[in-house]
Structure 1
Amino acid sequence: MTTQTPDLSHLWMPFTANRSFKAAPRLLASAKGVYYKSTDGRQILDGCAGLWCVNAGHCRDEIVQAIATQAATLDYAPSFQMGHPLAFETATAVAALMPKGMQRIFFTNSGSESVDTALKIALAYHRANGQPQRTRLIGRERGYHGVGFGGISVGGISPNRKAFSNSLIPNVDHLPHTHNLEQNAFSKGQPAWGAHLADELERIVALHDASTIAAVIVEPMAGSTGVLIPPKGYLERLREITSKHGILLIFDEVITGFGRLGANTASDYFGVTPDVITMAKGISNAAVPAGAVAVTNSLYDTVVNASENGIELFHGYTYSGHPMAMAAIGATLALYQSEGIFDNARKLSPAFEAAAHALNGLPNVIDVRNLGIVAGVELAPRENAPGARAAEVFQRCYDAGVLVRYTGDTIALSPPLIVNEEQINTLFDVLGQAISQTA
C-alpha cells in the first residue's frame, strides 16, 4: 500500500517540531490490534498504545459498531438542562469501576478538561462547605496535568509553564518530584527510597496555613514526564497529610486508569483512595475523545445540597456526555471485562518488567523504571543537546517497525494491554538494538 503524501502546510501540529516533521513526515494510514500500518505499507508495532490510550487495541469491532449504531440513532443531545439515557447508564458503568464511595461521575472530553473540572469542583466543594478561603492548589514538580490554564498552573513541566508564565493562575505551590537516580536507579516496581518527600506537604501547609489550601493534585504514577514511579509509602503519606488538614486529594489517572497497572485504577492498585479521580484516554479506548471525573459521594452531596435551588456547579461542556462518546465508553468497558484485559496486563507485568530491565548495561542507559505495563528507559543526555539521543533512538525504532515515545531523554513504553509476551520481546529487542546503535 502506498498513499500519496497530502499537503502538510495547513495543519499546525500539537507538541511537534512542525518544520522538521514536515521535512520528513511519519504518517500512519490504518491500525488493527497492536499494530499500525504506515502510508508506505510498513507494519508498526504500537509500543505506546497511541498516546497511552488504546488499551484494548486498535479498531475493535465491538467499539466501532457501538459508535456507528449510536451515530445513526442519536448523534447529539444537549447536556444542559437535558439528558439522554445512555449518559446515565454509562456513568453507572464507570462508577462500578471506581473505588468504594466514589460513585459520582462528571463527563468531559479529554484529560485536560478533566483536570480543570476537578480543580473547579475542589473550589466549589470548599465554598459549599463554608470554607471559601480555601483556594490554594498544590501540584508537583515534573507533574503533567494537561494543557488547560489550570492544568499547566498545577503542572510542573517547565517548558509547558514557561511559554505561558505570565498567565498562569495564582495561589499555586508545588511539591518536589520523587525522581532520584542516586537512590533509586534500576528499581523494579516501586522504589524503596522517597516516601519522606511527601512530608514536604507539611512544610507547604505550615507556610500557607491549611485553611487556605483547597487541594493537592498528583499523578499516582507520572507518565508524560518520563515514567516516575511513586516510592513505597509515598501516596499513603500524602493521603494521611491531606486528610489531617481537610485538604482534598486529587489523583490524575488519565494514564493509569483502566488497566494500565493491571487494576481498575491506580487508586485500587496502591490501595489509596483520593477524593477525586480524573480520567480520559483508556476510558473510551481513544475511539472517541472522552474523559471523566469521579468524586466521593459525600463531596457531590456537599456541593449539590448547598444550593437551595438552581444550578449547583457552573461548569460543563457542550459535548459532556456526548452520545457517541458514551457508546464508545460503554463498549470499551464491556470489552475490558469480557476479555479480561486488566487481568492480562497484571499477568504479563512480570515479563514486561524482565524485558525492560534486560536493557540495563546497554550504552548510555542510566535507569530503567517500570510498573504494570509501563516502562521508562532513561538515557544519558548528550552534552549541550538534551533529548537528542532519545530522539535518535525513537527514529531508529520507527524505522525498524516499532513505535515508542520519548520525553526528554527517556523512552516511554506502554503498549496496548492485549499485547502478548512475544510482542513484548519484539518491542524491547528493537529498542535495545536502537540504543546500541546510537552513540
Structure 2
Amino acid sequence: MSSNRVGLGTSLWSAQAHMPSVLDSRVTLVAGDGAYLTTSDGARLLDATAGLWHANVGHGRESIARAAYEQMCRLETYHVFGRFANEPALQLADRVTAMGPIPDAKVFWTSGGSDAVDLACKLARRHWQLENRPDKRIILSRANAYHGLHGFGTSIAGLEYNRDGYGSDSLIPETARIPTNDLAGVAAVIAELGPERIAAIVAEPVMGTGGVIPPEPGYLDGLQRLARANDILFIVDEVITGFGRTGVMFASERFGLQPDMVLMAKGITSGYAPLGGVLIAPAVWGRFFADADAPMFRHGLTYSGHATACAVAATNLDILEQEGLVERAAELEGVLARAVKPLADHELVADVRSAGFMAGVQLLPEVPGEAIADACIAGGVVMRAINNNTLQICPPFVVTDEEVSRIAATIQDALDGFASRR
C-alpha cells in the first residue's frame, strides 16, 4: 500500500516512528547554531535533547566543518582492513585510548554505537571460544536497557517492545536480562543460568533511553565484582555517557570502573559525522596481537576508521578541551538538578531523576508524554518522551544557566496547560 500524501519527504520512512502520525506532524530542521535549531518555517528551538544525546559541543561549529572539508580534500577515507590504515584513524586511536578508562587499551573503530554493541558482543563470545570455554555464550543486559538496534542490540534490549515482533525471543540466541539496581537479583540470575555459560554483562553507567536511570550507590561496582568473581567480561556502554556527559571524560572514571570493554559513539564527534568504537583491555586483545600464530578477529566495517569522521572527532575533542566543556558539563549538572527538582511536586509527575548533565521527568502513566513533548516544542524547546513516559533532558554543553532554567520552565508550562484542560 502506498501513501496518498504528497509533498517534500513523503518517501522517507522515519526511524522509530508511527508513520501515519509522523507524516502529518513533521518538524523539519534546516539549521543549527550553538544550543539552537531552526525549522523550515522559521521557528527557533532550544535543543534540550542534544539531538539523540550527541550534540555535546552544540550545532554549527565551523571549525569542525572545516576539518571535514580539509580532510576530504586530502583523502575522504580509506579502509583499515588488513595492512591498510589512514592517518586520522591512527592518530585518533592513540588519543582516545590515552584518555580512556582502560590502561593499555586498543580501539576497534565502527560507524556508530549500534555497530560497537555488535562488535563487543561478538568479541566477547570469540574470546571465550579461544579460551576453550565454548559454553560461555550468554550475553546479559539490564532490564530497561537500550543498546542500539542491530542484531545483538535488538537481542539484548531490556526494552521489551524493541525485542517483540520478530518471531523469537531473541534474534541472536543466548541472551538474558538481569535486574537494574538490584545486585541480589543479578547474582540470582547468574546462579540460575550458570556462570560457566555467561560470556559478558553489558551495562550503561547511567541508563539513557530506558528513562535516565542513575545507578544506585555501589551497584556498578558490585556488578563489576560479580562479573570478575564469575569470569564474566564486563562491558560498559558509554555511547551516551562518554566524552563528558557525566562531568568527566568517561563515566567509568566517575564510578571507579575498570571494564574489559567500553563502547563509545555520539559524543566522540558530537554528531558531526558517524563514528563509534570499542576500547578493549589487554586481557581480551592480547592474544590477537601475540605472535605469528595469533588468531584473527574476522570483523570489520567498510567505514571503520573513516578518515573524515576521525578528523571530525579530533576537532571535536579539541573543542571539548580548549573550551573546558567537560568541566562546564560538571557545573551544569547541579544547575540542571536544581532546575528540575520543583517539577517533582507537580500533580502530573511521578518522579524526577538526574545523573550527570542529564535528567528525566517521568510523568504519570495517564499523562500523554508525546503531547507534553509537543507542547514543549510549541513553546520553543525541543523535547522527547522516552521509556516509562519520561521526558528526556540532555542539552548541549554550551547552554547557559538561564537556558537550563528555561527548559524546566517550559516543561512546567506544558504540564500546567494539560492539567488545566483535564
* TM-score, normalised by the number of residues in structure 1: 0.91
Structure 1 unaligned spans of 5+: 179-196, 383-387
Query: After the TM superposition, which parts of structure 1 deviate over 3 Å for at least 4 consecutive aligned residues?
Result: none
Give, in angstroms, the shift of residue 102 of structure 1.
5.2
Distance, in Å, in 1 between the alignment partners of 2:382 and 2:376 is 6
Q: Matched residue of 1:376: which SS?
A: strand
Distance, in Å, in 2 between the alignment partners of 1:94 and 1:6 is 44
Aligned equivalent of 1:224: 209
Letter aligned with residue 345 of structure 2: G
Q: Matched residue of 1:23: which SS?
A: coil
Give, in angstroms, the shift of residue 289 of structure 1.
0.6
- Which of 136, 139, 159 is the aligned partner of 1:137? 139
Aligned equivalent of 2:219: 234
- Give matches, 1:80-229, under 5 Å: 80-81=81-82, 82-101=84-103, 103-166=105-168, 168-178=171-181, 197-229=182-214
- Residue 28 (structure 2) pairs with residue 27 (structure 1): yes
Contact 1:129/1:302, CA 8 A, preserved across alignment: no
Letter aligned with residue 177 of structure 1: T
Q: Matched residue of 1:70: which SS?
A: helix
Distance, in Å, in 1 between the alignment partners of 2:344 and 2:364 is 13
Distance, in Å, in 2 between the alignment partners of 1:201 and 1:130 is 26
Aligned equivalent of 1:329: 313
Distance, in Å, in 2 between the alignment partners of 1:270 and 1:307 is 38
Between the two proteins, the alignment pairs up a number of residues equal to 411
- Which of 383, 387, 407 is the aligned partner of 1:404? 383
Letter aligned with residue 58 of structure 1: H
Distance, in Å, in 2 between the alignment partners of 1:306 and 1:33 is 49
Aligned equivalent of 2:265: 280
Q: Matched residue of 1:223: which SS?
A: coil
- Residue 322 (structure 2) pairs with residue 343 (structure 1): no
Aligned equivalent of 2:344: 360
- Which of 393, 400, 410 is the aligned partner of 1:420? 400
Distance, in Å, in 1 between the alignment partners of 2:145 and 2:48 is 22
Give, in angstroms, the shift of residue 68 of structure 1.
0.8
Contact 2:260/2:283, CA 8 A, preserved across alignment: no
Give, in angstroms, the shift of residue 117 of structure 1.
0.5
Contact 1:56/1:336, CA 8 A, preserved across alignment: yes
Aligned equivalent of 1:296: 281
Contact 1:102/1:294, CA 8 A, preserved across alignment: no
Letter aligned with residue 380 of structure 2: G
Give, in angstroms, the shift of residue 415 of structure 1.
0.2
Q: Matched residue of 2:46: which SS?
A: strand
- Which of 359, 366, 374 is the aligned partner of 1:395? 374
Give, in angstroms, the shift of residue 204 of structure 1.
2.2
Contact 1:124/1:303, CA 8 A, preserved across alignment: no
Structure 2 unaligned spans of 5+: 1-5
Give, in angstroms, the shift of residue 130 of structure 1.
2.8
Q: Matched residue of 2:30: which SS?
A: strand
Aligned equivalent of 1:188: none
* TM-score, normalised by the number of residues in structure 2: 0.94
Distance, in Å, in 1 between the alignment partners of 2:224 and 2:210 is 22
Q: Which moved further from structure 2: 235-244 or 402-411?
A: 402-411
Distance, in Å, in 1 between the alignment partners of 2:302 and 2:50 is 28
Give, in angstroms, the shift of residue 212 of structure 1.
1.4
Aligned equivalent of 1:247: 232
Aligned equivalent of 1:182: none
- Residue 69 (structure 2) pairs with residue 68 (structure 1): yes
Q: Structure 1 residues 293 and 172 mapped into 2: Cα distance closer, same or farther (>3 Å)?
A: same
Aligned equivalent of 1:430: 410
Deviations 1:109-138 (A, max 9, x none): 111100000101111222222322211111
Q: Structure 1 residues 307 and 212 mapped into 2: Cα distance closer, same or farther (>3 Å)?
A: farther
Distance, in Å, in 1 between the alignment partners of 2:341 and 2:321 is 30
Contact 2:247/2:326, CA 8 A, preserved across alignment: yes
Contact 1:32/1:60, CA 8 A, preserved across alignment: yes
Give, in angstroms, the shift of residue 306 of structure 1.
7.8
